[in-house]
Amino acid sequence: MKKFFTLTIFALFAFAMNAQTVTGVIVDQETAEPLIGAVVQQKGTSNGTITDIDGSFTLALREGNPVLLLTFLGFNDSEIDLTGKTGSIDLGNVELSSNAMGLEEVTITGTMDIVKDRRTPVAVSTISVAEIQANSGNVEFPELMKNTPSIYVAGQSGGYGDSEIFTRGFDQTNTAFLLNGQPINGMEDGKMYWSNWSGMTDVATAVQIQRGLGSSKLAISSVGGTINIIMKATDIAKGGNASILYGNDNYLKATASYSSGMINDKFGVSFLLTHWQGDGWAEGTKGAGQNYFISAGYKINNRNKINFLITGAPQYHDQNFNKRISDHYNDPANPDEFNIKFNNNYGTLDGEYLSMRRNYYHKPVANLNWDLKFDNQSSLSTVAYASWGNGGGTGPYGDTRIDGYNTADGHIDFDNVIAANAQVDGGIGLNNVNRQYLGTAIRGSRNNHAWYGLVSNYSKKLNQNLNFSIGADLRTYHGSHYRELVDLLGLNGFDESDKARFNNHIVSETFPANPWTAMYKNASLAESIDYRNDETISYAGAFSQFEYTNSRISAFLQGAISNQSHVRFELHNNTEAEEKSENVNNLGYNVKGGASYSINTNNTIFFNTGFYQRQPFHDNIYLNFSNFVNPVAVPEKVFGIEAGYKFANQNFALNLNAYRTSWKDRATTRTLNDGDELPNGFIIISEGFRNTLQNQLHSGVELDFSYKINKMASVRGYTSIGDWAYQGSLNSQYFDVNRELVYQTDGDDVDGVRVGGAAQTTFGLGLDVKPIKPLFVSLKYNYYNNLYSNIGVGTTSLLLPDFGLLDLGVRYNVDLANGQLLTLRGNIYNLLGTEYISRATSSVEASSVESENWNGVNKSNFVQFGKTRTWNVSLKYSF
């Protein structure tokens, strides 16, 4: 693999551009700064080039259309007619004007609900491709969004791809994520596993964060907001790039991409390949993976165009979970020494590294976009998509009390585990429903799925001011969940005779924790262990919108309705005749609208409101991982209201928003930790879970601004102040590791208790400086306050210490002439090396004995620390 990428990069370095006869310099109309990488194309042909470090270009004209088309992300297109001009042509400075949000030219299909101007009545932030490329480095995709109001990113130290993003205090299961108009939250639980999308920083053209109910027409779970991720389509300009990046903890990433450009103005292909690997910031969090992206576009005629793409990011990464703060004092020779990077999920076997907890997954995604323009007033946009996910996560099986086999410093002694396994009679382990545990192995918990869907939207311009659209959102999903043996650690197998389907049944087949082999090597029903269940989820929705605009007013009214059906199949613990559950159907709908009013050119006010009835997640519908329907899981009710003010002139822009979101009848499931004591005195062994029905109220204000000081410097900042709390009481059910109900409550008072997970008060300030033309320096500071833990076993959340993080980025461009560019970039994240708690899942109050606390937090709390200082340097060649 390494040799392949090395050869690919060297091959791409051999490309060069041709001599030119038309010259010019493309600049920003407002600042006169050169626009690097702007596309200059002879309209109607595949003949084109891009601007260099000075914004300059040269292009040899071919026979045909004498019009030049100039495009750049974030700016309005421009055309220059060269009719009648002969010989060498010098156009001088050519100005392009900014188009506010800058997304129209990358919107592949009309199924995407993109805010294109400042008048749309929603709270929105947009991250351009330039920002993505400048800030990505070796951080995960959610961290690109942390410099926006009401956004909080946690869990970065869990391993590559294990971070989690919160929007207005709602976790990512309650934020809708769209990829080129395709919903990508998990249909079972709404979760986002960013490790499945590790290549997104390479292929995303833009990201738009619509906080609150947003402008999406789909009946999706946008309680906190909607995040639209727009992938690149087939590039219209010929060219490519190759890059190499190195970072902390031996992180290495190589990338190569190339586009054919549009051949005969009909067809084009773009591709990208990436390989990455690293040891991870925390101990025992090694990882490696690839990313592939292929996009092919075809222009059937002036009214029809299609684009097909397929992308995937097979990867594995070892994991670091929440643990007690006291566990981080793991050196027996220095018991007072704090080790922020400690991870107890790995150890050694015959002197070689081995992790008990590895995530491995491969999720290819394909979609076909078709844009059909009937006439100047009507069009149809459709995306058909599919994804096939295969993989899972490893962990202990059998006698899971690995602590008994740990070394003095808290790591797993796998040699000791194997020695213990050698004493097991016949080498046959036990892990059955009667709580009999014998022998220890490594198992894989598999979560496979096949997902197919279609979103289609018809738009009609009814008159000069009024637009109408109507569409459909159809999805079908089949998931399969089971466990399989990965490494028997010296055992000969496991006795699985306690399952309803089997008698005298021994399982011994093992399956590697590998993302590529997971695509085709799966355990059969007889080869699976512990549990096996499938589900089929079907979704059908319809949506419609009216939009009115004139010179001062912009208003919209949207509505959507959907039905979601669920069927569960219990394949181990029920007989074949009883394996199918009751079919559960839930109706969901939303109604929302908003309006903006432009007081004058610079000042705009807006208002929006809406109501959702949202279906509960599949994982909350069936009780205790069985076919019994959970009576607590009912449709959730969400009501939101928002108002805002926007100001913008040539050098300064400001947005002010106020919001209130009420969320009722929310069903949740959260993990209980080993050793947690329930209100009835029951002690959780290994782990369990808590099933809860709750109400929440989130309100707050947000402010963000940008100011261009001069041509060399600009400043951006934001602040958000939230008030996020539970209302009324909690109704909870507690289950042990075997999913047995051990305690339940009715009406625990939590009124006014703060919602945990995300900082409720945030502040950010960024300075961008360009002291000389090729050099760019960026400095960003983010401060987080009023961060609470999740509600623990009881009914309170815990206030955690506030913290601030400083990031530094430097870029230097070297012009190699003829459209070739060399970019050197470096980033340092958390420059000051601040130690902080990123999130906490328990709420034990501080001890009166100071030595039992860490920065005022009781050391018995389960927390995950954030990353200290990390860095990367990269070299990129573009041609």
Phi, psi of 519 (to 5 degrees): -70, -25
Is pLDDT at 162 greater than 80 in this prediction? yes
Is pLDDT at 484 greater than 80 in this prediction? yes
Lowest mean pLDDT among 586-590, 677-681, 747-751, 763-767: 677-681
Lowest mean pLDDT among 3-12, 540-549, 810-819: 3-12
> 39 by DSSP, 3-state: which?
strand
Q: Confidence band (pLDDT; 50, 70, 90) for 826?
A: very high
Spatial separation of the C-alpha atoms in residues 280 and 61, rounded to whole Å? 50
Higher pLDDT, 110 or 435: 435
H helices present in 169-220, as ranges: 200-203
Q: Over the chain, what is the mean pLDDT?
A: 86
Res 290: pLDDT: 96
H helices present in 355-411, as ranges: none
Mean pLDDT of 152-170: 92
How many C-beta atoms lie closer than 10 Å to residue 63's C-beta? 8
Mean pLDDT of 138-146: 88
203 and 302 share a domain? no
Task: Identify which of 110, 119, 114 has the alpha carbon closest to the alpha carbon of residue 102.
Answer: 114
Tens digits of residue pLDDT in 83-111? 878 777 888 888 887 543 333 333 344 56
227 and 251 share a domain? no
Task: Identify which of 700, 717, 678, 709 has the alpha carbon closest to the alpha carbon of residue 795.
Answer: 678
Spatial separation of the C-alpha atoms in residues 436 and 425, rounded to whole Å? 14
Which token pair is 126?
A: 């947009």
Spatial separation of the C-alpha atoms in residues 731 and 633, rounded to whole Å? 11
**Is the distance from CB of 120 to CB of 101 less than 8 angstroms?**
no
Mean pLDDT of 601-617: 91
Res 9: pLDDT: 38
Res 460: pLDDT: 94
Res 791: pLDDT: 84
Q: Kindly report the CATH number assigned to the domain that includes residue 143.
A: 2.170.130.10
162 and 289 share a domain? no
Mean pLDDT of 482-504: 91
Angle at 732 between CA 727 and CA 734, to 5 degrees: 150
> 459 by DSSP, 3-state: which?
strand
In our burial notation (b when 16+ CB lie closer than 10 A, e otherwise), range 118-137 reads bbbbbbbbbbbbbbbbbbbb
Is pLDDT at 11 greater than 60 in this prediction? no
Tens digits of residue pLDDT in 358-373? 999 999 999 998 989 9
139 and 274 share a domain? no
Q: Kindly report the CATH number assigned to the domain that includes residue 90.
A: 2.60.40.1120
pLDDT above 90 covers a percentage of the chain that reads: 54
Res 32: pLDDT: 59
Whose tokens are 């319809």? That residue is 542
**Is the distance from CB of 759 to CB of 783 less than 8 angstroms?**
no
Spatial separation of the C-alpha atoms in residues 479 and 621, rounded to whole Å? 15
Mean pLDDT of 666-678: 69
402 and 534 share a domain? yes
> Using only C-alpha atoms, what is the Rg of the chain?
28
Whose tokens are 């019994």? That residue is 628
Residue 12 CA, chain-centre distance (Å), reads 30
Mean pLDDT of 274-302: 94
177 and 252 share a domain? no
Task: Identify which of 295, 299, 271 has the alpha carbon closest to the alpha carbon of residue 45.
Answer: 299
Tens digits of residue pLDDT in 684-725? 666 666 667 678 999 999 999 999 898 889 999 999 999 999
The domain tally of the chain equals: 3
Higher pLDDT, 42 or 447: 447
Higher pLDDT, 16 or 345: 345
Final residue of a domain: which of 96, 117, 133? 96
Beta strands at 493-495 and 428-431: parallel, antiparallel or unpaired: parallel
H helices present in 466-509, as ranges: none
**Is the distance from CB of 223 to CB of 612 less than 8 angstroms?**
yes
Task: Identify which of 116, 136, 72, 75 has the alpha carbon closest to the alpha carbon of residue 210.
Answer: 116
Q: Confidence band (pLDDT; 50, 70, 90) for 318?
A: very high
Q: For 674-800, where are the E strands, in sequence order?
A: 687-708, 713-735, 741-744, 748-749, 759-769, 775-787
Q: Kindly report the CATH number assigned to the domain that includes residue 251.
A: 2.40.170.20
Cα torsion 365, 136, 105, 716: sign: positive
Is pLDDT at 422 greater than 50 in this prediction? yes
Res 107: pLDDT: 37
Tens digits of residue pLDDT in 251-265? 999 999 998 887 887
Phi-psi region of 355 (alpha: psi -120 to 50; beta: other; left: phi over 0): beta
pLDDT above 70 covers a percentage of the chain that reads: 89
Tens digits of residue pLDDT in 735-777? 776 667 777 777 778 889 999 999 999 999 999 998 987 899 9
Tens digits of residue pLDDT in 176-187? 898 887 888 888
810 and 668 share a domain? yes
Q: Which residues, other chains included, contact 384 with Cβ-Cβ below 8 Å and sequence gap of 6+? A: 367, 368, 453, 454
**Is the distance from CB of 782 to CB of 764 less than 8 angstroms?**
yes
Angle at 583 between CA 578 and CA 589, to 5 degrees: 160
Task: Identify which of 93, 102, 21 has the alpha carbon closest to the alpha carbon of residue 54.
Answer: 93
Res 111: pLDDT: 60
Task: Identify which of 138, 379, 157 has the alpha carbon closest to the alpha carbon of residue 277.
Answer: 138
Mean pLDDT of 530-552: 93
Q: Which residues, other chains included, contact 379 with Cβ-Cβ below 8 Å and sequence gap of 6+? A: 110, 371, 372, 373, 458, 459
Is pLDDT at 206 greater than 90 in this prediction? no
Task: Identify which of 679, 597, 683, 610 has the alpha carbon closest to the alpha carbon of residue 645.
Answer: 597
Task: Identify which of 277, 291, 315 has the alpha carbon closest to the alpha carbon of residue 195.
Answer: 315
Q: How far is CA 458 from CA 116, 178, 214, 379, 471, in A?
A: 18, 19, 20, 6, 6
Mean pLDDT of 537-554: 92
Q: Would you mind telling me the total number of residues written for the chain in this entry?
A: 879
Mean pLDDT of 527-556: 93
Is pLDDT at 481 greater than 70 in this prediction? yes
Task: Identify which of 720, 707, 709 has the alpha carbon closest to the alpha carbon of residue 760.
Answer: 720
Spatial separation of the C-alpha atoms in residues 122 and 210, rounded to whole Å? 7
Tens digits of residue pLDDT in 380-421? 999 999 999 999 999 999 988 776 788 999 999 999 999 999
Which token pair is 819?
A: 């459209």
Which token pair is 413?
A: 């002694």
Spatial separation of the C-alpha atoms in residues 760 and 763, rounded to whole Å? 10
Prediction pTM value:
0.85
Amino acid at 351: G
388 and 251 share a domain? yes
Report helix, strand and coil shares of the chain as percent, to nearest 5.
10, 55, 40
Half-sphere exposure (Cβ direction) of 682: Cα atoms closer than 13 Å = 20
Q: Confidence band (pLDDT; 50, 70, 90) for 1?
A: very low
Which token pair is 162?
A: 């294990």
Higher pLDDT, 524 or 86: 524
Spatial separation of the C-alpha atoms in residues 807 and 809, rounded to whole Å? 7
Is pLDDT at 74 greater than 70 in this prediction? no
Half-sphere exposure (Cβ direction) of 487: Cα atoms closer than 13 Å = 17
Which token pair is 161?
A: 């791809």
323 and 300 share a domain? yes
Final residue of a domain: which of 96, 114, 147? 96
Is pLDDT at 732 greater than 60 in this prediction? yes
Higher pLDDT, 506 or 745: 506
Mean pLDDT of 540-563: 92
Q: Confidence band (pLDDT; 50, 70, 90) for 332?
A: very high
Lowest mean pLDDT among 53-67, 494-508, 576-590: 53-67
Domain residue limits at 167:
104-231
Res 113: pLDDT: 66
DSSP state of 848: S
Angle at 474 between CA 473 and CA 475, to 5 degrees: 125
428 and 279 share a domain? yes
Res 687: pLDDT: 63
Spatial separation of the C-alpha atoms in residues 638 and 224, rounded to whole Å? 10
Mean pLDDT of 585-604: 92
111 and 85 share a domain? no
514 and 384 share a domain? yes
In our burial notation (b when 16+ CB lie closer than 10 A, e otherwise), range 451-463 reads bebbbbbbbebee
Is pLDDT at 8 greater than 50 in this prediction? no
> In DSSP terms, which residues pair with 64 in a beta bridge?
none
Final residue of a domain: which of 231, 262, 291? 231
